[in-house]
Structure 1
Amino acid sequence: MATTVEQIVTALASAYPVIAVVSPEEDRIERLIQRVGAAAKPNPLPVLTWNCLDGFGQAHPVSDPLAALAWVAQEAPQGFYLFKDITAMLDGNRFLLRRLRDTASAIRNSGKYLFLLGPVVQVPDELKPFTYVVNSIFPDEAEVQATVQAVFTATRRSVDPSTFGRIVTSLRGMSLTEVEHVLRRLLARHQELGEAFFLELLAEKEQIMRKEGILEFVPPDRGIEELGGLDQLKLWVRQRASLFTPEARAQGLPRPKGVLLMGMSGCGKSLAVKVIAHEWQLPLFRLDMNLVFAGVHGSPEWVFHRALEAVEAVAPAVLWIDEIEMGVAGYHEGETGSLTRIFSTFLTWMQEHRADVFVAATANRINLLPAEIIRKGRFDQVFFVELPNEEERKEILAIHMRRQGLDPSKYDLVLLASATRGWNGAEIEQAVISARVACFAEGRPVEERDLLAAMGQIVPLSTTMAEQIKAIRSWARTRALPATTPGKPEM
């Protein structure tokens, strides 16, 4: 994605008289416009800023937007004219819209340019032929680097290049004001820039991303040792763990684009996504499609586009789309409306985006997935997650026993794995938890018979949804790579 300055330069080179800048950071955008103005050829161009209280300040202290625009059109010299509050006044104001259109027409090819700045900019149809839209929701990497360097210089702290790069990556997706405040606070609190520093930095990032309300930051705190089975998926993840490093970039190695995990519910697809982020040491963001379609933050198409821009701004990162068949890929041929447009946007973005964003998508109802989603080029690999076999169930049992404070070596895992034939990982976890809770209530340790008793009270999905599971297996047999090495089928 082009930087803010590159987008502004493109707009100026295209001779658009109006440049609408979408950003909540007024000071940052003003500085960038001043930088572009100072570098203008053959002569630098001044930047005058208007707001609804002070007008253009001493240059022309008129707070009425109609009068300010008339002055720009008729008397003002060549330059950049930044209007900060005018986008919020446009809705339903026919007089202001007319004056804006007339001003845009009057200043074409005159060396004067209008910049309309706001966190949300809806360009009216009348202005679209005159307007170039610059999306600058988050600062780019160079801006974050400059701010981080300025903070380290001001605080007289030293940092090695590797740690500096990791800090910059962790701070991406924040405004420059947030970057400065967060970094100053954490530097004052931590004398060493170790793991404790970065854990707190991730916690700060989580709070800031919550304010965006679109992407949910998910702490990638589950290691690959906590994922039972799925040996082929684990191998695939390990082989690509170093592709996001500077060394891989220097050698021109391709970055993985995404993976689609589909199959039975409760078999570890969501956990696998967290493991991928943890193994690759990348931040994990979950896109909640319910919020996209809720309309709280604007039209679904605009919110979805903003979410993609947001995750590109924090790259490298993992974007998690849960149950993709019900959200992004919930489109069916012949449908129209927001879902169709979002589906089209997502397909194009998956094919064309250049940011280091890895898409990890999960799907339960795989028969609902359109062919466009699963074809090669969208995802690097499509894995089918099957019900765990006996060896995997033993591994899953041991993992959940350890998480509940139990010693797996004291139990007959072969017997327990046999008792859970046809179970998914979530059902095995619930059986272990139920046994521990029951024994805690009775004030005694968990015995093997308690685990077997808890298992006897659970009816697995493989029993209640046998026909659906059979259909899922049949559909996936020739369409996806098994996440587990195929072996002898269980009776």
Structure 2
Amino acid sequence: MNNELVKQVFGLIKLNNKLIAVESPLQERISLLINLVSESQRLDINCYLWTLEDDQLHQLVVNQETLALQKVEQYQAIAKNRREHYFEILRFWKTTDLSGILILEGIFPWLGSASTDPDFFLTSEWIKSALINLKLYNHSCNKIVILLGPNATLSSDIAPEVPTIVQQLPAIEEISSYLAQVLPNYSYGDIHAAAIAGLGMYLADIDYGIRQAISNHENTPDELVEKLSAYKIELFKRIYNIQFLQPPATPIGGLELMQQAFKTYKRLLSTLAKAYNLRLPKGILLIGPPGTGKSYSAKACSQQLGLPLIILEWGSFRSYGNLAEYKLKNLLALVDRISRIILYLDDFDKGFAGDDDLSKRLAGMLLTWMQERTSEVLIIASANNIQWLPPELTRSGRFDEIFKVDLPNYGERHEIFTLHLARFDARFQNGGDAYTEDEWKRLLKATQRCVGAEIRVIVERAAVSTFCRMFGDDVLPLEELPPLLIQLSALLAARQSMNPLAIREADRVESMRNIAALQGQPSSPIDSSIYSLGNVDIFG
């Protein structure tokens, strides 16, 4: 990857660009510098490095793939005697007899968007002016300045003067080629599986993940893939603040129309569909009251399609402030590189509650990416209040499918209860049942406006109360434990201890449901179960 980046740098140098910005992550810095200096030495060009941290200038030399730094005393003497400005390096490079490539590391914060702090603003303007003067003054000299950092954000006044190169995440072919060198005993199939596990990480991260996996003992290829995948999940959480999940085994109760749509999307991923120029929807929007199963539906889609799932709280980007656009750019680059993946934007509407410039800029970035991307990324977003979303986000061609995820009907509540009861009571596993039809009708009537999340809580509370009635403080051997039998009375008691949101906030929930009904298509068919409203005596 660094070799390709270096080719781009020297391609710009050949076009007589004297100022070049390079965005590269910190973990790839040593590898990039080695490749850059190696190519400079091949072309008989000196290479220098200045870092903000110590204000020292070093000449870079590579010997046997090892990077060496040699202090330039000429700069140290001048900088020590003339401390008019911390960025004395810019004056020095303008007038020094030294030539070649000067790498400036850590200067980008002064080149981004304007600041309201007067001292910072003046320093920023001085640096920009000095860089432009360098470009003009050294136009006919063999002096090049490379601005290097993990975030190469440039303000609009200087951006046209500084071409920017961004180090992209390595493709699976590059990762496979690298793994073949570090894992020479692995077969082609094992290398490919490890490359898939490493997709979305830089080579330095993959190398660290492998060394961490084999630090204690040798691993089988399957064990290495498992550990590398676990390391990637932890890394994504730290860097991008997202959850990365492999396709889960997620049973879902109800929402049959939506699940049928998911099965259609799976067929659209086939090569046959591509032959007919058919594609996935650009986006799917799930709207409805809280707790109705929108997040659960995204996991069910991941299971149906067999694709990994990235869960992102869209509103969290607002907390990044000026870094929000940079964070979003990196995240979209990540999902583009992984390609066959589901990107789930949880609580999408909350990111636009403020209706400020930041929200609009983030929405613009997302819209542009959704319109122009070629990767096979399925975007699913959930919203409680669709009226908070900008109108341009909900028009056709942006989110092609909009589903109303409503309060579960009688038949769906029966399915949801059965799924959760099976977690604790063996009688409900493998399609089993322990209640009579009349008992079910009584329970479903009592939970008429409960959503799936509330049903889960009711079952868990009933399981806890049943457990507490069965056992005291004495601990029995596991082999002697009797089964946990959850009775209808325990579920009804748990229901009485809860005030469902759809009753507690009836006006708000009904408003959400009405708006969702106008905007989206139903995600559930008409209830045709034996427990449907027409078959339930609501006065019984």
Q: TM over 0.5: same fold? A: yes
Alpha-carbon distance in structure 1 between the residues aligned to 2:464 and 2:57: 66
8 Å CA contact retained: 1:220, 1:283: yes
Q: TM-score, normalised by structure 1?
A: 0.82
Alpha-carbon distance in structure 2 between the residues aligned to 1:125 and 1:351: 24
Alpha-carbon distance in structure 2 between the residues aligned to 1:5 and 1:229: 54
Aligned-partner residue type, residue 264 of structure 2: Q
8 Å CA contact retained: 1:284, 1:319: yes
- 2:136 counterpart residue number: 105
**Deviations 1:326-381 (Å, cap 9, x if unpaired)?**
10x4465xxx5222222222222221223333222101112333321222221231
- 2:339 counterpart residue number: 315
User: How far does residue 431 in structure 1 lie from its aligned partner after superposition?
Assistant: 1.0
Alpha-carbon distance in structure 2 between the residues aligned to 1:112 and 1:354: 39
Alpha-carbon distance in structure 1 between the residues aligned to 2:510 and 2:224: 49
Are positions 1:467 and 2:496 aligned together? no
Indicate the SS of the match to 1:183: helix
Alpha-carbon distance in structure 1 between the residues aligned to 2:5 and 2:58: 25
- Larger Rg: 1 or 2? 2
**Deviations 1:418-451 (Å, cap 9, x if unpaired)?**
4322321111111111111111111164222212
Alpha-carbon distance in structure 2 between the residues aligned to 1:76 and 1:131: 22
8 Å CA contact retained: 1:138, 1:310: yes
**Deviations 1:40-76 (Å, cap 9, x if unpaired)?**
xxx9574724134452247983466745875577655
- 1:56 counterpart residue number: 59
User: How far does residue 219 in structure 1 lie from its aligned partner after superposition?
Assistant: 2.7
Aligned-partner residue type, residue 159 of structure 1: Y
| Percent of residue pairs bearing the same amino acid type | 23
- 1:205 counterpart residue number: 232
8 Å CA contact retained: 2:318, 2:324: yes
Which residue of the other structure, out of 246, 260, 272, is the alignment partner of 2:297? 272
8 Å CA contact retained: 1:260, 1:363: yes
**Deviations 1:267-326 (Å, cap 9, x if unpaired)?**
111111122233334333233345422247x43333333333343344333222111111
Alpha-carbon distance in structure 2 between the residues aligned to 1:325 and 1:397: 29
Are positions 1:479 and 2:479 aligned together? no
User: How far does residue 458 in structure 1 lie from its aligned partner after superposition?
Assistant: 2.7
Distance 1:88 1:218, change over 3 A: closer
8 Å CA contact retained: 2:466, 2:486: yes
Ranges in structure 2 where 5+ consecutive residues have no aligned partner = 62-69, 80-86, 112-119, 472-484, 535-540
Are positions 1:357 and 2:377 aligned together? yes
Alpha-carbon distance in structure 2 between the residues aligned to 1:146 and 1:250: 30
Are positions 1:120 and 2:151 aligned together? yes
Alpha-carbon distance in structure 2 between the residues aligned to 1:67 and 1:347: 41
User: How far does residue 12 in structure 1 lie from its aligned partner after superposition?
Assistant: 5.6
Which residue of the other structure, out of 93, 98, 104, is the alignment partner of 1:83? 104
Distance 1:385 1:369, change over 3 A: same
- 1:227 counterpart residue number: 252
Ranges in structure 1 where 5+ consecutive residues have no aligned partner = none
Alpha-carbon distance in structure 2 between the residues aligned to 1:27 and 1:102: 30
Which residue of the other structure, out of 461, 465, 468, is the alignment partner of 1:434? 461
8 Å CA contact retained: 1:83, 1:116: yes
8 Å CA contact retained: 1:316, 1:357: yes
Aligned-partner residue type, residue 426 of structure 1: A
Which residue of the other structure, out of 288, 300, 318, is the alignment partner of 2:313? 288
More displaced 10-residue stretch of structure 1: 8-17 or 168-177: 8-17
**Deviations 1:189-235 (Å, cap 9, x if unpaired)?**
565434x55443332112212331x33124346424x1111111112
Indicate the SS of the match to 2:242: strand
More displaced 10-residue stretch of structure 1: 405-414 or 256-265: 405-414
Alpha-carbon distance in structure 2 between the residues aligned to 1:486 and 1:45: 76
More displaced 10-residue stretch of structure 1: 447-456 or 457-466: 457-466
**Deviations 1:127-149 (Å, cap 9, x if unpaired)?**
43421222326444444333222
Q: CA RMSD in A?
A: 3.6
Aligned-partner residue type, residue 523 of structure 2: A
Distance 1:172 1:252, change over 3 A: farther
- 1:239 counterpart residue number: 264
Aligned-partner residue type, residue 510 of structure 2: K
Distance 1:252 1:85, change over 3 A: same
More displaced 10-residue stretch of structure 1: 387-396 or 118-127: 118-127
Report how many residues are paired.
Answer: 472
Alpha-carbon distance in structure 1 between the residues aligned to 2:273 and 2:31: 33
Distance 1:36 1:314, change over 3 A: farther
Aligned-partner residue type, residue 49 of structure 2: W
